[in-house]
């Protein structure tokens, strides 16, 4: 990632009361700061340094609200591990997560191999440690084998119903983390 250091502030046009933010050689206009106070990014992304966020407090606090700061958004992949599964024969997974603030949503697709479990078996490897237990669901290649998932605070997904052998499962669960 390259950084353009703003060295020139100039009016964007003779008729507008906007300030253009551009590189020192005027080659790239990164954005404008309008006379109304709006900052418009026209090239690149708005990047906040670590520990900062976007404050949505202009509308005032609703009853019980403790923060209006969006300070974390992340998407990525995670690697499920066997935990206490009884059958784990070379499964392959497409496992992703989205984290917005403290809320984490995980999605897992088994795309090969075989997994099987008795009721209350655990799959580990969640990308963030859950702060409180939560629930989700799973489906498999047989519609009658759908079931619930319990997300536990030890980073495990507990499957509520048993399945002897699966070659395709889908898991979707959301939970809160402390980080």
Read off the pLDDT of residues 111-136 as tens digits, 9 standing for 90 and up: 899 988 877 788 999 999 999 888 87
* Percent with pLDDT over 90 in the chain: 22
Cα–Cα distance between 179 and 130 in angstroms, integer?
9
The pLDDT of residue 95 is above 90? yes
- Domains of the chain: residue spans and CATH: 8-71 (no CATH), 74-176 (2.60.40.1830)
Identify the pLDDT of residue 113. Answer: 93
Cα–Cα distance between 53 and 47 in angstroms, integer?
10
Identify the pLDDT of residue 2. Answer: 46
Give the other-Cβ count within 10 Å of 178's Cβ: 9
Higher pLDDT, 25 or 107: 107
- Give the pLDDT band of residue 17 (cuts 50, 70, 90): low
Identify the pLDDT of residue 28. Answer: 67
How many CA atoms, within 13 angstroms, populate the side-chain half-sphere of residue 34?
7
The answer to whether 91 and 163 have CB atoms below 8 angstroms apart is no
- What is the rounded average pLDDT of the residues 74-102? 93
Output DSSP code: residue 72. Answer: -
The answer to whether 153 and 130 have CB atoms below 8 angstroms apart is yes
Output DSSP code: residue 103. Answer: E
């Amino acid at each position: 990632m390259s950084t353009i250091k703003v060295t020139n502030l100039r009016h964007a046009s003779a008729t507008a009361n906007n300030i253009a933010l551009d590189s020192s050689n005027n080659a790239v206009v990164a954005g404008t700061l309008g006379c109304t106070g709006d900052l418009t990014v026209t090239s690149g992304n708005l990047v906040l340094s670590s520990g900062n966020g976007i404050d949505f407090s202009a509308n005032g606090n609703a009853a019980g609200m403790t923060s209006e700061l969006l300070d974390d958004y992340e998407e990525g992949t995670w690697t499920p591990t066997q935990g206490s599964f009884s059958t784990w024969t070379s499964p392959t997974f497409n496992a992703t997560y989205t984290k917005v603030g403290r809320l984490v949503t995980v999605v897992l697709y088994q795309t090969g191999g075989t997994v099987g479990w008795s009721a209350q078996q655990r799959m580990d490897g969640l990308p963030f440690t859950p702060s409180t237990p939560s629930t989700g669901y799973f489906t498999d290649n047989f519609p009658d084998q759908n079931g619930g998932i319990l997300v536990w605070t030890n980073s495990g997904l507990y499957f509520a119903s048993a399945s002897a052998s699966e070659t395709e499962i889908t898991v979707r669960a959301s939970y809160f983390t402390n980080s």
